[in-house]
Amino acid sequence: MSKILKYLCAVLISLIIVIALALGVTYSSHDIPVLNYHQINDTDFDALTLSSSEFAAQMKDLYEEGYTTLTPDQLLADLHGNNLPPKPVLITFDDGYEDNYRNAYPILEKYHFNATIFLISNLIGQDHYLNWNEIKDMQQHQITFEGHTFSHPFLSKETDENVLKKELLDSKEDLEKHLGYRIDYLAYPYGDYNAHVMEEVQKYGYRAAFTVHLGDDTSKDNPYALPRVPIFQAYTHTFLRFWLSLHFPTLMNDIQTEKLRLFAQHEN
């Protein structure tokens, strides 16, 4: 990192801390960031697709800052009072895209990071999605797999209990049959859920579920509505947005909420 860039980062960090203190934002070493990625490739240019070089830069930063990657089991145990490793982080991917194996997996291996991929059971083996051979390979090398429903619906809009059962339980059992272990965690498609969906998730034996609400995980969080830190590709300053969201998720969430409020106010 150049001296100029280090200086600018130092200035920015100081500014963010001043703003955070002014807004009463606090950071606790017991807050655990859960990073949320989707696709990692250099061909799909959209918000949910991070370039390989950008993903590599973010993983390099985590490594150089001394972060320790967790499994979901470790996260849940840590939230219940177990001793935390230094600078814990959980790295997650939604949907189970094939480029997670081709592009993200070698980078994760380079830094000896583990990660969790939430699979849409009906799409395994389809074009652009992971197949079972790729999943089995990663499973043997620090990558865990959990549930992301059968077909990726808006769960809060499902009124048929049989459909909810298929999305939540049947997909869970299918993954368990292939992976050989119990599926304990769910990522809500689109981050969409309501009180009834949470009840069904708990009823079908999941221990926790993840949203896309921006924030770190703490012992005060409902285990069936755990926040994450969504990482999006931006037109500019993607790495800076990643860094700020990693270190100041509450502040970044407040800024995003205010931007949406002002936009809605302007539209009206």
pLDDT in tens, the chain (268 residues): 455 554 455 455 555 555 554 444 444 446 899 999 999 999 988 889 999 999 999 999 999 999 999 999 999 988 877 777 889 999 999 999 999 999 999 999 999 999 999 999 999 999 999 999 999 999 999 999 999 999 999 999 999 999 999 999 999 999 999 999 999 999 999 999 999 999 999 999 999 999 998 888 888 899 999 999 999 876 567 888 888 888 887 776 666 655 445 544 544 4
Which two structure tokens, joined as six digits, stand for 244? 């700020």
What are the structure tokens assigned to 28, written together?
A: 């606790």
Q: What pLDDT score was predicted for residue 219? A: 82
pLDDT at residue 267, rounded to an integer: 46
Predicted confidence at residue 30, as pLDDT, reads: 64
Place of tokens 């579920």: 209
Angle 171-179/132-139 helices, nearest 10 degrees? 60
How much is the pTM?
Answer: 0.85
Q: Which residues contact 20 (CB under 8 A, 6 or more apart)?
A: 26, 27, 248, 251
CA distance 199 to 108: 34
Residue ranges with strand state E in the chain:
34-37, 39-40, 49-50, 68-69, 88-95, 115-119, 143-147, 185-187, 208-214, 226-230
Contact 193, 225 (CB under 8 A): yes
| Cβ(29)–Cβ(68) below 8 Å | no
Distance CA 6, CA 91 (A): 26
